[in-house]
Amino acid sequence: MRAAIEPGTGLTFVELSHPWGHGIPVWPGDADVRIERAVTHAKDGVMAQRITTTMHCSTHLNAPVHLVQRGADIASLPVDLFFGNGVVLDIPKQRWELVSAADLKAARPAVQPGDIVLINTGWHRKYADSQEYFGLAPGLGVDAAQWLVDKGARVVGIDAAAIDHPLATSLGPQRNGPLMKRLPKLYAAVTGRDAKADFPEWNPAHRLLLANGIPTIENVGGDLAEVSGRRCTFHAYPWRWKDGDGCIIRLMAILDPGGGYRIEPGVSR
């Protein structure tokens, strides 16, 4: 759906989240999202729902503690990380390709220090409960993660289920894997290469970002193509969750075509 200018503010809000709810794709091996009505209109005159879910599904943000022992949790991260200016980089990738530092350096508009950086590989169009979406996805190379650290990125997101290449995660021959049992053999059959030799480390790019205090966003989606290759202001707020390792978010790009909007200064009269 093409975003329209919101008449009350003159701003354009662009949806960058996948829907969340019953039956959405979840990380292979995770339990389904479960939603129950705790009370109902027919019986109680009110509706309230009970939810059981992992936070690492749909469009979500990861805190450092997700992969880094004693790393910062969601609630302890500075709130200004999740709102601000940045860029959507258009870097198309196909099956099992890596986003490299050279890709990031060549992309335009250029990444600025303090940017929220979202990477559009085009993979969000394949979002589904499928072996293709999870197992054949592109991912961020370690050199790319280091480049983003060096550039001073504030938050880094990608339109795939993981920051790293799937064979560098538990989907492949890594810690707690392979969750997708056939994936290493498929990689060998298609490429003639050994997955563990090509991807010897577990989540190296993701751990590098989180270890440097850079939260990450996975499963970026929605109308991402609408703002690809553009600078935007982003809203990516998680819950204020003490000890939280990650959180489902409503990720939005905000544009001000007329340049007339301002944040209130807090005047009391």
State how far the Cα of 218 lies from the Cα of 265, in Å rounded to an integer.
Answer: 33
State how far the Cα of 27 lies from the Cα of 29, in Å rounded to an integer.
Answer: 6
pLDDT at 5: 83
pLDDT at 269: 80
Q: What letter does residue 33 receive in the DSSP assignment? A: P
Per DSSP, the residues of 98-145 read: EE-HHHHHH-SSPP-TT-EEEEE-SGGGG-SSSHHHHHS--EE-HHHH
Cis bond before residue 238 (omega within 30° of 0)? no
pLDDT at 233: 98
State how far the Cα of 13 lies from the Cα of 5, in Å rounded to an integer.
Answer: 7
What domains can be seen in the chain, in order of their start residue? 9-18+55-164+203-255 (3.50.30.50)
What does the pLDDT look like over 104-149, one tens digit per residue?
999 999 999 999 999 999 999 999 999 999 999 999 999 999 999 9
In this prediction, the residues of the chain whose per-residue pLDDT falls under 70 are 1-2
pLDDT at 53: 98
What does the pLDDT look like over 85-109, one tens digit per residue?
999 999 999 999 999 999 999 999 9
